[in-house]
Structure 1
Amino acid sequence: MMGFTYDTVRSDLVEDGVRRIALNRPERLNAMNPALIRDVARAFDDANACPLTRAIIFTGEGRAFCAGDDRQDHSHPESEAEARALVELIQAATRAICLGPKPVVGAINGWAVGGGFEWAINCDFPIWGESAKGFFPEVSLNLFVTGAVTTLLPNLVGLNKAREMLFFGERYGAAELRDLGVAWRVVADAALAGEALSVARKLAALPVLSTRAMKRVLYAAAVPDLHRALALETEATVAGFLDPETTRLLKDF
Structure 2
Amino acid sequence: MAGTIITRTEGAIAWIKLNRPERLNAMNGDLVDDLSEALAMVESDPVVRVIILHGEGRAFCSGDDLKDLDSQTLSEAATQAWVESIQQVTSQIMDSRKIVIAAVHGWCVGGALEWVINCDFRLFADDARWFFPEVGYGLFVTGGVTALLTKQVGPQITKELLILGERHDAKKALEVGIAWKLVPPPALLDEAEKLALAIAERPQVAVADVKRAINRGFHSNLHDAMALETEATVRGFLTPEAQARAKDF
Aligned counterpart, 1:221: 217
Q: Distance in 2 between matches of 1:223 and 1:22?
A: 30
Give the match for residue 62 of structure 2.
67
Corresponding residue for residue 24 of structure 2: 29
* CA spacing shift, 1:16–1:78, aligned 2, 3 Å: closer
* Equivalent of residue 42 in structure 1, options 37, 40, 60: 37
Matched letter for residue 172 of structure 1: H
Q: Distance in 1 between matches of 2:5 and 2:143?
A: 19
The alignment's TM-score, normalised by the length of structure 1, stands at: 0.84
Match of 2:172 among 170, 176, 182: 176
SS in structure 2 at match of 1:22:
strand
Counterpart residue number, 2:148? 152
Could you report, residue by residue, the CA deviation over 1:197-235 in whole angstroms, capped at 9, with x for unpaired residues? 00011111111110110110101101349xxxxxxxxxx
Paired with 1:98 and 1:153, the residues of 2 have a C-alpha distance of 14
Who wins on radius of gyration, i.e. which is larger? 2
Alignment gaps of 5+ in structure 2: 222-249
Residue identity over aligned pairs, in percent, reads 43
5+ long unaligned stretches in structure 1: 226-253
Q: Matches of 1:223 and 1:24 in 2, distance apart?
A: 33
**Per chain length, whose mean CA-contact separation is higher, i.e. which structure has more relative contact order (CA < 8 Å, sep 6+)?**
1
Q: SS state of the match for residue 7, structure 1?
A: coil
**Aligned CA distance change for structure 1 residues 11 and 182 (closer, same or farther; 3 Å):** same
Separation of aligned partners in 1, 2:210 and 2:79: 35
Once the two structures are superposed, the pairs formed by residues 96-135 of structure 1 within 5 Å of their partners are 96-135=92-131
Structure 1 vs Structure 2 CA RMSD: 1.3
Q: Number of matched residues?
A: 220
TM-score computed with the length of structure 2 as normaliser: 0.85
Asked if the contact 1:6–1:39 (Cα under 8 Å) also holds between the matched residues in 2, the reply is no
Aligned CA distance change for structure 1 residues 192 and 81 (closer, same or farther; 3 Å)? same
Post-superposition shift, 1:72? 2.5
Residue 78 to residue 26, structure 1, CA distance change in 2 (3 Å): closer
The answer as to whether partners of 1:110 and 1:132 remain within 8 angstroms in 2 is: yes
**CA shift digits 1:34-91 (9 cap, x unpaired):** 1101111111111111112110101001110000111332255532211111111010
Q: 1:188 corresponds to which residue?
A: 184
Q: Distance in 1 between matches of 2:185 and 2:204?
A: 30
What SS does the aligned partner of 1:63 have?
A: coil
